[in-house]
Amino acid sequence: MEKFACEPCGYVYDPAKGDPDSGIAPGTPFAALPDDWCCPICGASKDMFKKVD
Amino acid sequence: MKKVLKNNVSWVGYMDWEIKKFHGDDFTINHGSSQNAYLLEYDKTVLIDTVWTPHRFDFVENLKKEIDLKKIDLIIMNHGEADHSGALPALMAEIPETPIYCTAAAVKSLEGQYGQNGWNFHVVKTGDSIEIGPGRTLTFVEMKMLHWPDSMATFLSGDNILFSNDAFGQHYAVAELYNDLADQCVLYQEAVKYFVNIVHPFCIFLSKKLAEIAALNLPIEMIAPSHGVIWRDNPAQIVEKYALWANAYQEDQITIAYDTMWEGTAKIAHALAAAIKEASPQTVVKIFHIAKTDKNDLMTEIFKSKALLVGSPTACNDMLSSVAGMLSFTKSLRFRNKKAAAFGCYGWSGEAVKNIQSALKDAGFNVLEETVKSFWNPTEETLNQVPALVEALLKEDK
Ligand SMILES: [Fe+2]
Ligand SMILES: [Fe+2]
Ligand SMILES: [Zn+2]
């Protein structure tokens, strides 16, 4: 599954790990994250993320 | 000795006259600095932040002279970085049960630095508050990425003091403590240098955060940061400056930064400066030899500029290492809305100029195609490239 990186702080969302601290289960693709989900490090919104190639 | 700021609020930090470098060796300090910690003695006794590790024993000893450490009801760590948390382990060794109020990210940074010591952390979020006495409430405001994920500020109502931690700070030792008692030129020079080198990468968060703080309608009468002066005379002035600086700030200045091996690239730098000055006399033009210039000062000059010209000779198929380092630093500070161009001498292969161009693009500059490239030392003929570059540089964007 595709990883996405936060532009402002560099955090990488890895779907395999999810974001358990924000209640996101492992295996959740980036596209399936709720609209109000934000970067667990810096708080940036979803639209600030770019696909990691 | 503690210094009373207002009612039962005092400064208990460390005035660091000897410090010359900060963040390892990455930030130069020219006028001393301070690590400001504060003691609030109401119904509850509260310590806000501590000092840098080398001063931990001085800090704890001085604090003991002011109060019985057991009287401290809680410690607020606005930020986990070692210049504020460095005395925490020594203090916790004396009062291990004391609650530590901080953000969730600060728990990670404190445990990451000092290990898991079973400290009594109380995680707080924006809007959480504690009453510490009659008419005295502490309210927390998360300051994520200003300048670490764990940063926060604490507002004390009644005395109306915002303990802003690193935001609004400066590396500047002022024993008189207050902004109105400091040399204003040095104060602003240090405040802008601090902003550029420490806060600027996070400008996108800053504008939002300033709006959020404004919306809280806090009646701020004093801003007490963790370094440098306490803003008591018109504290809004530094908030207004931050708002201005965070918004693609620039002056009518052009900075020329170069390194040179045998003075050829230096000659181009000076020819460019003279041509800019002639075409646009009101524009401030400054020339810096990168390897001989303090890098933090150079970043501050680039921040103020509308354009940056970078020059290097080609050596071993690339720019000089000082130039590469400068460009890497420039990229990390995330300047926007600035023009840039490249120049330099070469003897055979000549890659430096195009490599500078691509590094400047990568750093977010609007890079001109025009260059000044000189086969060996500049001649009248090579300097014929100067006017076209200067024209493109000074052309107003439509
Ligand atoms: Fe810091
Ligand atoms: Fe700091
Ligand atoms: Zn982030």
**What residues of chain B have any CB closer than 8 angstroms to a CB in chain A?**
104-105, 142, 144-145, 149, 202, 204-205
Q: Which chain A residue shows the shortest CA-CA distance from B204? A: A8
CB contact under 8 A, B149 and A9: yes
Q: Where are the alpha helices (DSSP H) in chain B?
A: 56-66, 82-85, 88-94, 104-114, 184-194, 203-215, 236-245, 264-279, 295-304, 321-332, 352-362, 386-394
CATH numbers and ranges of domains, chain B: 3-245 (3.60.15.10), 254-392 (3.40.50.360)
Helix, strand and coil content of chain A, in percent to the nearest 5, comes to 15, 25, 60
CB B327 within 8 A of CB B363: yes
* Pairwise CA distance, residues B285 & B274, whole Å: 9
**Confidence category of residue A53, pLDDT binned at 50, 70, 90:** confident
Q: Provide the shortest C-alpha distance from residue B369 to chain A (in Å).
A: 27
Which of B141, B146, B151, B205 to mutate against chain A (most A CBs within 10 Å)? Answer: B205
CB B80 within 8 A of CB B150: yes
Give the amino acid at A50: K
**Confidence category of residue A8, pLDDT binned at 50, 70, 90:** confident
Q: Provide the shortest C-alpha distance from residue A42 to chain B (in Å).
A: 6
State both tokens at B272.
């460019």
* Pairwise CA distance, residues A1 & A28, whole Å: 9
DSSP letter assigned to residue B201: G
Neighboring chain B residues of A41 at a CB cutoff of 8 Å: 105, 144, 149
Distance from residue B383's CA to the centre of ligand 3 (Å): 46
CB B250 within 8 A of CB B363: no
Say whether B84 is catalytic. no
Q: Which residues are CB-neighbours of B159 under 8 A, at least 6 positions away?
A: B5, B6, B7, B9, B136, B221, B222
From first to last of the 398 residues of chain B, give the pLDDT tens digit: 899 999 999 999 999 999 999 999 999 999 999 999 999 999 999 999 999 999 999 999 999 999 999 999 999 999 999 999 999 999 999 999 999 999 999 999 999 999 999 999 999 999 999 999 999 999 999 999 999 999 999 999 999 999 999 999 999 999 999 999 999 999 999 999 999 999 999 998 898 899 999 999 999 999 999 999 999 999 999 999 999 999 999 999 999 999 999 999 999 999 999 999 999 999 999 999 999 999 999 999 999 999 999 999 999 999 999 999 999 999 999 999 999 999 999 999 999 999 999 999 999 999 999 999 999 999 999 999 999 999 999 998 65
CB contact under 8 A, B205 and A8: yes
- The angle that helices B264-279 and B386-394 make with each other, rounded to 10 degrees, is 50
Query: Could you tell me whether strands B222-225 and B161-165 are parallel, antiparallel, or unpaired per DSSP bridges?
Result: parallel
Neighboring chain A residues of B142 at a CB cutoff of 8 Å: 43
Which three-class secondary structure state does DSSP give residue B379? coil
CB contact under 8 A, A8 and B202: yes
Q: Provide the shortest C-alpha distance from residue B198 to chain A (in Å).
A: 14
B216 DSSP β-pair partners: none
In degrees, rounded to 5, the angle at the alpha carbon of residue B77 between the alpha carbons of residues B112 and B153 is: 120
For B369-397, letters b (16+ CB in 10 Å) and e give ebbbbbeeebeeebbebbeebbeebbeee
Distance from residue B24's CA to the centre of ligand 1 (Å): 12
CB burial class (10 A; 0-12, 13-18, 19+) of residue B349? exposed
Sheet holding B74-76, edge to edge: B3-6, B9-11, B38-41, B45-48, B74-76, B100-102, B121-123
Neighboring chain A residues of B144 at a CB cutoff of 8 Å: 41-43
Say whether B194 is catalytic. yes
- Which A residues 19-38 touch B at CB under 8 Å? 21
Among B232, B174, B243, which residue's Cα sits nearest to residue B203? Answer: B243
Which of A9, A21, A45, A48 to mutate against chain B (most B CBs within 10 Å)? Answer: A9
Q: Which chain A residue shows the shortest CA-CA distance from B143? A: A42
CB A15 within 8 A of CB A24: no
CB atoms within 10 A of CB B178: 14
Q: Provide the shortest C-alpha distance from residue A31 to chain B (in Å).
A: 24
CB B344 within 8 A of CB B314: yes
Among B350, B378, B354, B380, which residue's Cα sits nearest to residue B368? Answer: B354
Instruction: Look at chain B and count its residues.
Output: 398
Residue B298: alpha-carbon gap to chain centroid = 13
Say whether B362 is catalytic. no
Return phi, psi of residue B160, to 5°. Answer: 55, 50
DSSP letter assigned to residue A45: B
Distance from residue B341's CA to the centre of ligand 1 (Å): 33
Which three-class secondary structure state does DSSP give residue B252? coil
Return phi, psi of residue B205, to 5°. Answer: -80, -30
pLDDT digits (tens, 9 = 90+) for B60-70: 999 999 999 99
Instruction: Look at chain A and count its residues.
Output: 53
* Pairwise CA distance, residues B263 & B130, whole Å: 63
Distances from the Cα of B167 to the Cαs of B5, B79, B144, in angstroms?
Answer: 19, 11, 11
CB A8 within 8 A of CB A42: yes
Q: Provide the shortest C-alpha distance from residue B291 to chain A (in Å).
A: 30
Distance from residue B166's CA to the centre of ligand 1 (Å): 6
CB contact under 8 A, A8 and B149: no
pLDDT digits (tens, 9 = 90+) for B328-349: 999 999 999 999 999 999 999 9
